[in-house]
Amino acid sequence: MRIEQLEAFLAVAETGNFGQAARKCGVTQSTISRQIQSLEEDLGLPLFHRTSQAKLTVGGEQLFPRARKMCQEWANVKQEFAELLAGKQPELCVTAIHSVCANGLPPVLQKFCRDYPDVQLRVTALGSDRALKVLRDGLVDIAIVMNNRFLTSSPEIIVDVLYQEQIAVLMAVNHPLSQYKAIPSTELIRYPQVVFKDGYGMQRLVQEWFARQGATMKTVMELNTLDAFRGVVRQGEIIAMLPMGALLEAQIDPTLAVRPIAVTTEDMKQAISREVVLVTTSDRLQIPPIAHFYDLVKKLIQPPKETFSPSLPIAN
The model's pLDDT over 267-286, given as tens digits with 9 standing for 90+, comes to 666 788 999 999 999 999 98
Other CB atoms within 10 A of residue 312 CB: 12
Task: Indicate the domain borders of the chain.
Answer: 3-85, 89-316
| Cα 99-101-105 angle, rounded to 5 deg | 115
- Residues 175-210 as b/e (b if ≥16 CB within 10 A, e otherwise) read bebbebebbbbebbbebebbbbeeebbbbbbbeebb
The pLDDT-based confidence of 53 (bands split at 50, 70, 90) is confident
Question: Rounded to two decimals, what is the model's pTM?
Answer: 0.72
| Fold classified for 89-316 | D-Maltodextrin-Binding Protein; domain 2 (3.40.190)
| Fold classified for 3-85 | Arc Repressor Mutant, subunit A (1.10.10)
Judge whether 46 and 40 are in contact, CB under 8 Å: yes
Q: Are domains 3-85 and 89-316 of this chain identical in fold?
A: no
Q: What is the pLDDT of residue 86?
A: 65
The model's pLDDT over 73-115, given as tens digits with 9 standing for 90+, comes to 888 887 777 766 766 678 999 999 988 998 899 999 999 999 9
Q: What is the average pLDDT across 5-34?
A: 89
Residue ranges of alpha helices (H) inside the chain are 3-15, 18-25, 29-43, 58-85, 98-99, 105-115, 128-136, 185-188, 201-212, 226-233, 288-300
- Residues 255-274 as b/e (b if ≥16 CB within 10 A, e otherwise) read ebbbbbbbbeeeeeebbbbb
pLDDT at 291 > cutoff 50 = yes
